[in-house]
Amino acid sequence: MTFAVTAIDPVADPTREQASLQARVYSALEELPDAYVRLFEETNQQSFFLTLPWFRNFVKTALDEGCSPRIYGIGPRDGLGPAAGMLMACSLPRLRNATSLRKLSALTNYYSCFFAPHLSVSVGRTRETLHELTRAIGAERPRWDAVEIQPLGVNSEGFSALVEGFKAAGFVVQTFFCFGNWYLAVNGRSFAQYVESLPSVLKNTLQRKQRKLEKSGRANVEIITGGEGLEPAIQAYTKVYLASWKRPEPYADFIPGLVRMCSEMGALRLGLVYVDGEAAAAQLWIVHGGVAFIYKLAYDERFADLSVGTILTARLMQHVLDIDKVDEVDYLSGDDSYKKDWMSHRRERWGILAMNPRTTRGALAICRHLSGRAMKRAFSWISGRLRPEDKTVDATSTAVSGQGVSSFSPAARVVASSAYGSAVDGTLKNRLRRDFHYRDVIA
């Protein structure tokens, strides 16, 4: 197999000084030089969703036909010294119609609960690195009609640097809301101490249901981390998932591959509840870098009256607090009402859509998005006038006590709607890959 490596030279500009950094594009993970592989190691603790194993499984099992990986490496022009940064991206397949965009996307889809450029802590040149990245993307030929990167931490330095960089490179930029992210700051608590902080209704329900199930003698709980029980556990998880209310996975090999990968990393916490010997509930938790991620959950609706899902959540929570001793539990994507009962804080993940006015399709996309956004903003303003009690929620992390937090502001709702409003018809997988919605998918 052969790979293509492209160095992107600066745009012809006699007034521009010689940059100390240069972007190079790689077409496969296997092609990356050691300097960029070390970036995975350097950012390993930032998020599980930035690790090399995560991207390997993603490319192998969840990349659509026609999608081509494009890994942008930013490093010294002379090729000496450590890498400064890297963006995991891909070019999306174009449909056969006049309005289909030539689009560059982050290497994500609806399975991805977090994304960020890989930035070297030791080099420490975040803004310069990301400005060189966006300049390089703008300099490529043929030109990109649009670039979309999501889901990002909205309060990170990288988010603002990307927005600034794309604007400086001549793109028209929109930012948009992706999803709310509920999480628990453990603060050294044991499971017993944590339970005391739960809402009284949940605490009482949990204790009552646990006693009922234990008294019946019908159920047992297993937490699988690997070993000989791994493959039977994957089969049990799949059986429960197919019997649940969840829609079938569009990429059948992704979750089994993820489970095996997590087992190899020592990150797997796959919980199963068996009732009368039959798998009734399953939850996939991932422990990495001091954080327990609640990634997937499902239960067979025949056993709904036994609250098997709630009981399994409690058992896994006890495991990660008392045995793994994590610092944080992350419920990942979605503002589902039940999450605020288990978690303590909320933050938001946002996306960046950069559209190119130098291309015909990019200019049309700008007109379509901005006109749609203006109409929705006007509608939201009218709605706000009719409902003056509505409040705007900013994009900062919010501590929750008692009443919780509303989802997101009318303004953010406008941006989110407009960012997805231009999807064109295609196959189910291509629509998920190109214009995926996050809520009610993970967990």
The whole-number pLDDT of residue 226 equals 95
Domain 187-326 listed as CATH 3.90.1150.10 = no
**Start and end residues for every CATH 3.40.630.30 domain found in the chain:** 5-179+347-434, 187-326
pTM > 0.85: no
Contacts of 375 (CB under 8 A, 6+ apart): none
Chunked into runs of 10 residues, the chain (443 residues) has average pLDDT values of 55 48 96 95 93 98 93 90 95 81 96 97 89 97 97 96 97 96 98 94 89 85 96 97 92 97 98 96 98 97 91 96 98 93 96 97 90 69 56 40 31 33 37 36 34
Question: Residue ranges of the alpha helices (H) in 69-190?
Answer: 126-139, 157-168
Contacts of 211 (CB under 8 A, 6+ apart): none
Which of 309, 340, 254, 341 is CA-nearest to residue 61?
254
Count Cβ neighbours within 10 Å for each residue of 284-321 and write b for 16 or more, e otherwise. Answer: bbbbbbebbbbbbbbbbeebeebbbbbbbbbbbbbbbb
The whole-number pLDDT of residue 122 equals 80
Select from 3.40.50.800, 3.30.930.10, 3.40.309.10, 3.40.630.30 the CATH code of 5-179+347-434.
3.40.630.30
- The tokens for 125 are 């040149």
